């Protein structure tokens, strides 16, 4: 358990007994697209899934500090401290975080933990916190996803700025392979800041952004998966994933819809259309993975 440094507390009206608040935030399946177009900001397009991080905050004036469990959720603790300080609320209480997946793989766990924790802290004080406020706090701590916003969004992850609210993605399932070890996203982003996308790559990323927008308009999973494949191939030069070429080349023969990858993580998801031959396609993908001797995998989706 990590404990925030003790500070002098001031009486606060309206809180006589400990008050409990809860919050949640969806995880993401890597990103639909990530990169830079022309001289614009570095951006990502989120791919929310049904897995989520949950948090509980108990505001308790009998305490003289904030504790967090598990102890490694220091970013969530830092975010809650900033929020309470900005709201002129006392730093007192306990924060519990239940992360929705393993960290450092590309599921956006840090952002989801922070967003869930801020929502829980605000609710404990009978308040709400806007996506914009969550974005501002989270991006001051580290480069962040845009998962505090509903639906899929294009988001400048270094600046914490919403670029475009796109809406709900078409329904998909995905067989997700964990291609290698976890990635320290903060350290990787410091390295990535020096990477320059070519003019040709920028044009392809612009096209992929449009394809995501069009996939939402038409609810076309295959168009979404094709956009993801374009972005994954471009970013393979930046963070190579083992077996990428073999998996990319197998997408069409397997009857899958495409790929979504973590551009700063190790996961690679093969998209499946739940409305078009799902069971048969899933079986083919699983046999393919067995042939590749892939043992670390999971299955996720963006609908319940």
**Domain spans, the chain:** 2-165, 167-301
Pairing of strands 93-98, 66-69: parallel
Tell me the pLDDT tens digit for each residue of 188-208.
666 566 678 899 999 999 999
CB atoms within 10 A of CB 302: 21
- Banded pLDDT at 128 (limits 50, 70, 90): very high
Question: According to CATH, what is the number of the domain 167-301?
Answer: 3.30.70.890
CATH top-level class for 2-165?
alpha beta
As a whole number, the mean pLDDT across the chain is: 91
Whether the Cβ atoms of residue 121 and residue 95 lie closer than 8 Å to each other: yes
Q: How far apart are CA 115 and CA 19, in angstroms?
A: 19
- Residues 213-232, mean pLDDT to the nearest whole number: 98
Sign of CA dihedral 152, 154, 157, 161: negative
pTM confidence score? 0.91
| Contacts by 247-252, CB closer than 8 A, 24 or more apart | 247/177, 247/292, 250/288, 251/225
Q: What is the pLDDT of residue 196?
A: 83
Radius of gyration of the chain (CA): 20
Whether the Cβ atoms of residue 259 and residue 32 lie closer than 8 Å to each other: no
């Amino acid at each position: 358990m990590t404990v925030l440094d003790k500070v002098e507390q001031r009486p606060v009206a309206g809180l006589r007994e400990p008050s409990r608040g809860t919050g949640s935030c969806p995880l993401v399946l890597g990103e639909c697209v990530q990169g830079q177009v022309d001289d614009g900001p570095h951006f990502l397009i989120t791919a929310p899934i049904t897995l989520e991080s949950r948090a509980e905050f108990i505001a308790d004036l009998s305490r003289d500090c904030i504790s967090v469990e598990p102890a490694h959720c220091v970013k969530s603790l830092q975010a809650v401290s900033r929020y309470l300080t900005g709201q002129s609320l006392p730093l007192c209480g306990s924060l519990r975080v239940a992360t929705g997946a393993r960290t450092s793989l590309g599921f956006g766990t840090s952002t989801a933990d922070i967003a869930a924790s801020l929502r829980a802290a605000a609710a404990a004080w009978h308040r709400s916190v806007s996506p914009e406020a969550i974005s501002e706090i989270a991006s001051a701590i580290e480069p962040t996803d845009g998962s505090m916003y509903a639906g899929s969004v294009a988001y400048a992850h270094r600046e914490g700025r919403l670029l475009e609210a796109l809406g709900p993605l078409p329904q998909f399932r995905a067989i997700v392979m964990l291609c290698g070890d976890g990635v320290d996203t903060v350290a990787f982003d410091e390295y990535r800041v020096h990477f320059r996308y070519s003019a040709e790559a920028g044009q392809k990323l612009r096209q992929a952004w449009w394809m995501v927008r069009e996939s939402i308009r038409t609810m076309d999973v295959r168009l979404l998966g094709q956009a993801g494949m374009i972005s994954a191939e471009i970013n393979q030069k930046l963070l190579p994933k083992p077996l990428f070429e073999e998996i990319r080349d197998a997408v069409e023969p397997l009857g899958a819809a495409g790929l979504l990858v973590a551009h700063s993580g190790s996961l690679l998801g093969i998209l499946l259309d739940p409305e078009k031959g799902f069971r048969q396609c899933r079986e083919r993908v699983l046999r393919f993975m067995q042939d590749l001797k892939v043992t670390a995998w999971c299955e996720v989706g963006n609908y319940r």
